[in-house]
Amino acid sequence: MTGLERILAAFSPQGTSDFAAVACYPGILNRDHYFQLTGMPWWTAHDPNPAVQLRSLTEQNEAVGFDWYGFGPGASREEQQAVDILAEGDAAFRLDRRTGKKTRLEPPVVSGTLSVRQENYPVIDDPAAFLKAAIPLGEPFHGLAPGEDDLPRLMMASPYGKTHFAYYSVGGAMWGVSGIMGYEQFFSLLATDPEPIYAAAKRYLYNSIQRVKAAAAAGCHAVWIEDCMMDMIGPERYKKYNLPVIKELVQAIRDAGMKSMYYFCGNPWPVMDMILETGADALSLEESKKGFSIDIADVVARVNGRMTALGNLDAIDLLEHGSLDDLHREVARQLDAGRRNGGRFIMSTGSPVTPGTTIARLHEYISLVHELSE
């Protein structure tokens, strides 16, 4: 089976015996290992030319070998025609000929960079006004702009695109609001006057739904819903404020003809029944860490075939540092759990692949999943 066929089968009521091998956040993996995955100059990743993007993405994804990849709409025709990427010695720049603005580009940084610090957030005196200004309602989706479908059409017609599962990522609305306010002010306001936060979350959700529609128009098969910090608000607030916006997002994804994958970061057990109420097609959880335990056998026992389960292989210790025998045993154990979920299972890591994990190690992981599925 192809990667696309494996994952589509994992979403079917019948499940599959041929499990897919993936890791969450493949974009982070590609950033951290960029120079190991492709010989293309790093600045080509910023090129709006769809043919350049197709080659760059395909080379990186094929070098890793996962059954899925992150994807979405490409650059508009206007941007393709107006933006040039200029290499000058060791530096590279983005030149927008519409404005004459020339911006220096930065090469990929292993582990990324910290873009916002807590002390950079403004002190919010009027939360309702601040959040309304920070999260205005965007335009309703009326179709991809001219040219935004150029890259998707090329990808879906390519041998890689025809055989691999494409998904798009959005963030949970409440978590998105927390990032705009800063965590200190978010949790303080949530405890004292949560209504401005919930109103902002509804606007954030509306904008996310427009992006979901764009992802469907680009040919994506699914949407990955990343939801962080929501194990810290307590079950009552999760039920009142977070569950409704996640359920609405899940329904919008279904209405757009795609599958939804809910990645709940943190300790799921206090809200597990509500997580199952989201209606998501699949559930992904972290590996055991941060003082809580998430055993895949326990996850499958609670899911009980109601949705597709993703594995939560330990990416931090086992994948990078464990012996091949240890990796073999854990992959086999997780696949056995997947079989108990009626074959509705996708083998995955619980966290992003670490920068120190070699590509050769990933190939061992992928080979084990496919070999032990037979």
Q: What are the chain's domains?
A: 3-77+125-373 (3.20.20.210)
Tokens of 70: 């992150």
Q: Tell me the backbone φ, ψ of residue 224, rounded to 5 degrees.
A: -95, 120
Residue-level pLDDT at 90: 87
Q: Give residues with Cβ within 8 angstroms of 331, minimum separation 6.
A: 313, 347, 365, 368, 369, 372
Q: Is 253 exposed, middle or buried (0-12, 13-18, 19+ CB in 10 A)?
A: buried
Strand pairing category for 308-310 and 345-346: parallel
Q: Are 135 and 177 in contact (CB under 8 A)?
A: yes
Contact 344, 10 (CB under 8 A): yes
| pTM of this structure | 0.97
Query: Where do the DSSP E strands lie in 217-344?
Result: 222-227, 259-264, 282-285, 308-310
Pairing of strands 83-88, 91-96: antiparallel
- ∠ CA 144-149-154, nearest 5°, is 170
* Cα 285 to Cα 272: distance, rounded to the nearest angstrom: 11
Beta-carbon contacts of 316 under 8 Å, excluding residues fewer than 6 positions away, are 287, 289, 351, 354
**Mutual angle of helices 195-217 and 173-181, in 10-degree steps:** 120
Please report the pLDDT score of residue 185 as a whole number: 95
pLDDT score for 116: 67
The per-residue pLDDT for 374 is: 74
- Residue whose pair of structure tokens reads 């619980």 in the numeric block: 350
Query: 280 near 260, Cβ under 8 Å?
Result: yes
Q: What angle is formed at CA 166 by the lines to CA 340 and CA 257, rounded to 5 degrees?
A: 80
Q: What is the pLDDT along the chain (374 residues), one digit of tens a residue?
A: 999 999 999 999 999 999 999 999 999 999 999 999 999 999 999 999 999 999 999 999 999 999 999 999 999 999 999 999 999 988 999 999 999 999 999 999 999 987 766 667 889 999 999 999 999 999 999 999 999 999 999 999 999 999 999 999 999 999 999 999 999 999 999 999 999 999 999 999 999 999 999 999 999 999 999 999 999 999 999 999 999 999 999 999 999 999 999 999 999 999 999 999 999 999 999 999 999 999 999 999 999 999 999 999 999 999 999 999 999 999 999 999 999 999 999 999 999 999 999 999 999 999 999 999 97
Neighbours of 189 (CB within 10 A): 19
CA–CA separation, 53 and 42 (whole Å)? 12
The Cα–Cα gap between 283 and 292 comes to: 18
Nearest to 247 by CA among 266, 227, 229: 227
Do 357 and 1 contact (CB within 8 A), yes or no? no
Biggest alpha carbon–alpha carbon distance for the chain: 60
Using an 8 Å Cβ cutoff, are 347 and 311 in contact? Answer: yes
Give how far Cα 145 sits from Cα of 170, 216, 283, Å. Answer: 20, 14, 32
Tell me how far apart the alpha carbons of residues 75 and 99 are, in angstroms, rounded to a whole number: 17
Element (H, E) at 78: helix 77-82
